[in-house]
Amino acid sequence: MGIALSVVIPAFNEAGRIGRTLAAVRSYLVDLPFASEIIVVDDGSRDATAARAREALAGFAEARILVLPENRGKGAAVKAGVLEARGEMILFSDADLSTPIEELGKLLRPVREGADAAIGSRALPGADIRVRQKGLREGMGKTFNRLVRLLVLRGIPDTQCGFKLFRREPALDVFGETSTCGFCFDVEVLALCAKRGYRVEQVPVVWADSPPSRVRLLRSSAEMIADLFRIRRGLRARGKGPATRPTSPRGR
């Protein structure tokens, strides 16, 4: 039997919680009626992330730990994992499981019904935000999303939720072209989906802030804004402007 689902988890200095995360993911996957694999991408961690991941996944037949030689950023780690995935569907999930792995069922439904991708959203009616971010961080996130819609991609109020599921072919097609190594990679991925006509569904999900965050307010925000302009230039270099709305919100 082939691999139906690959779960890609990027991790940087996550030794303190990667074991709990992988235990939860592993427990969920063994009860699914199809074969799955777990790919942890250690993004040049300086702690024991890779060792803790190996311990947590011992005995799980379809598990791999990819160790990048240096810290390149979340986008680079997710891309490495996606391009190594063998599944017919590919999920990437944040290492903190801010969106619980049990929410996968909500994304599987639209993909099985023909969508090329389904992305978790904290901004749609029906989303369940159980622990909010601190005021300044949440405000800066909303400002960033407004900039995304203004400069690059219309129609997606939350591009940054770290819980996205793709069919294999669109995932390999789009991630094979991405060049954004940092946190703004989601925007580039979704903009490329729009340009290529892939059908993306937005799905409201459960989400809880899970500090500490790897996003540093000033430094990361400046880098993400710079990346937005670089992505915009890349789209224009292809002779096209900002991407139009590529999605269908899927309420619950």
CATH 3.90.550.10 fits 5-249, yes or no: yes
- Quickly state the pLDDT bin for 241 (edges 50, 70, 90): very low
Q: What is the DSSP letter of 39?
A: E
Local structure of 129: helix, strand or coil: strand
Q: Which amino acid is at 93?
A: S
pLDDT tens digit string along 141-187?
788 999 999 999 999 999 999 999 999 999 999 999 999 999 999 99
Q: Do residues 95 and 10 make contact, with C-beta atoms less than 8 angstroms apart?
A: yes
Residue 183's region, left for phi above 0, alpha for psi from -120 to 50, else beta, is alpha
The pTM (predicted TM-score) of the whole model is 0.91
Structural domain spans, the chain = 5-249
Residue 197's region, left for phi above 0, alpha for psi from -120 to 50, else beta, is left
